[in-house]
């Protein structure tokens, strides 16, 4: 299983085929789970990590998570602005 990424890289004629290891699959799948909104415990179980810190690194780097946080900030800011505008009237 761990050699599949290098086989795929070789097939795609990518440079440095030896750099593609089983870790690529582990990292990619954990990142995809984080992007899907899966909780940290599930990501830890999937990847076999005991450390929450390691697993949180994937969540932190998740584009989906960054977008979700940005939307929460935007909605929170917009909601506060709307509430404040009603207070001023």
Whether the predicted model's global pTM rises above the 0.85 cut: no
- Residue bearing tokens 């929170």: 76
CA distances from 12 to 3, 17, 25 (A): 14, 10, 16
Angstrom distance (rounded) from CA 26 to CA 2: 10
- Tens digits of residue pLDDT in 17-74: 888 888 778 888 888 898 888 899 999 999 899 999 988 888 777 787 788 888 888 8
- Backbone φ/ψ region at 61: left (φ over 0), alpha (ψ -120 to 50), beta: alpha
């Amino acid at each position: 299983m761990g050699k599949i990424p290098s086989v795929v890289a070789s097939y795609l004629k990518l440079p440095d085929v030896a750099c593609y290891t089983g870790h690529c699959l582990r990292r990619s799948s954990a990142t995809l789970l984080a992007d899907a909104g899966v909780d940290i415990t599930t990501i830890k179980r999937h990847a076999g990590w005991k450390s929450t810190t390691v697993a949180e690194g994937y969540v932190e780097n998740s584009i989906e998570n960054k977008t979700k946080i940005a939307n929460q900030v935007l909605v929170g800011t917009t909601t506060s602005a709307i509430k404040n505008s009603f207070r001023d009237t």
